[in-house]
Structure 1
Amino acid sequence: MLAWGREVLADQPFSVLLGAELAAMSPGRAELRLPLRQALRQQHGFAHGGVVSYLADNALTYAGGAAMAAPVVTSEFKINYVRPAIGDLLVARAECVSHGRQQAVVRCDVFVVKDGEEKLCAVAQGTIARLGEAA
């Protein structure tokens, strides 16, 4: 499953541009990582909110797709930023809360890593929808 997920990520030009890495994937769970280089920061030096949001969105979708074992897209999601992401690495860990045949509800915690210590910087929840008519 992880190898397949990494192939999908490699086919996403935006994910490649940002430098995202799929670190883990199993049924209903996913972990994405993103090194924080200068180009991904905003004027105050921490990760741009759009970068944090991207990572949460993609992790939610991976976890939902892995739970439903189907091609999926994000139908909607909400994010709460709880602290500025000041550090060297973002880590998004998503877990499916509930799923049926057509959709999944998934939550995600996004952490920033600085000096080896993780700190929660955002929390997201979303609805992931099955694409097309899968069996």
Structure 2
Amino acid sequence: MTVLSLPEDPEALLQLGRELLAAQVFSSLLEARLDAFRPGLAELSLPLGPHLLQQYGHAHGGVVSYLADNAMTFAGGSVLGPAVTTVGFSINYLRPAQGERLAAEAIVVSGGRRLAVVRCDVSAHDEAGRSTLCAVAQGTIATIDRPSS
């Protein structure tokens, strides 16, 4: 197994995180952005355009779920290393997500050698800068074996 380490410099860590996010084609399609990334925390956001809305005019649950899942995986990876995946999560939708941007803040609750439990809040932000909590999630992130190069 190849073990990848994370940079200790905060700017280098954020840059690595942004490179990893850019390598995810789906994340690029959604125009997701890594806004903050440090040990135990990740903040991701995306613009909430008409192509991401469901028939009632608010964000599709899959978009909200994607943002929570990816933010939790980044937060977990910030303590476990970059070779991680989500092994399970649950999400509760609290209210419709409407506005200009969706933002997810994920925080590691407990981290070990191979698993991290992560909590996440997803909020919608409007043009006036107001935010509304739309969903809460909790997940388990695990390290994965990567082939040696």
- Would the TM-score normalized by the shorter structure come out above 0.5? yes
Please tell me whether the aligned partners of residues 70 and 131 of structure 1 are also in contact (alpha carbons under 8 angstroms): no
Determine if the alignment matches structure 1 residue 40 to structure 2 residue 40.
no
Q: Residues 74-93 of structure 1 correspond to what in structure 2 (within 5 A)?
A: 74-93=86-105
Distance in 2 between residues matched to 1:90 and 1:70, nearest whole Å:
24
Matches within 5 A, 1:1-135: 1-114=13-126, 115-132=128-145
Instruction: Give the secondary-structure state (helix, strand or coil) at the position aligned to 1:43.
Output: coil
Task: Report the TM-score when normalising by structure 2.
Answer: 0.88
- The aligned length equals 134
The separation in 2 between residues aligned to 1:128 and 1:9, in whole angstroms, is 16
Shift of 1:68: 1.5
Larger radius of gyration between Structure 1 and Structure 2: 2
**Distance in 1 between residues matched to 2:48 and 2:98, nearest whole Å:** 9
More strand by share: 1
Residue 70 of structure 1 and its aligned partner are, at CA, apart by: 3.8
Inter-partner Cα distance in structure 1 for 2:19 and 2:83? 13
Percent of residue pairs identical = 59
Per-residue deviation, residues 1-48 of structure 1 (Å, max 9, x unmatched): 100000001000000001100000000100001100100000111000
Q: Structure 1: which 4+ aligned runs deviate by more than 3 Å?
A: none
> Which digits, 9 at most, give the CA deviation of each residue in 1:77-135, with x for residues without a partner?
000000000111000000000011010000000000012101100000000000117xx
Letter in 1 for 2:33: E
The answer for unaligned runs of 5 or more in structure 2 is: 1-12
Q: Which moved more, 1:12-21 or 1:67-76?
A: 67-76
CA distance in 1 between partners of 2:52 and 2:69 (Å):
16
Amino acid at match of 2:88: E
Q: Is the contact made by 2:81 and 2:143 (CA closer than 8 Å) also made in structure 1?
A: no
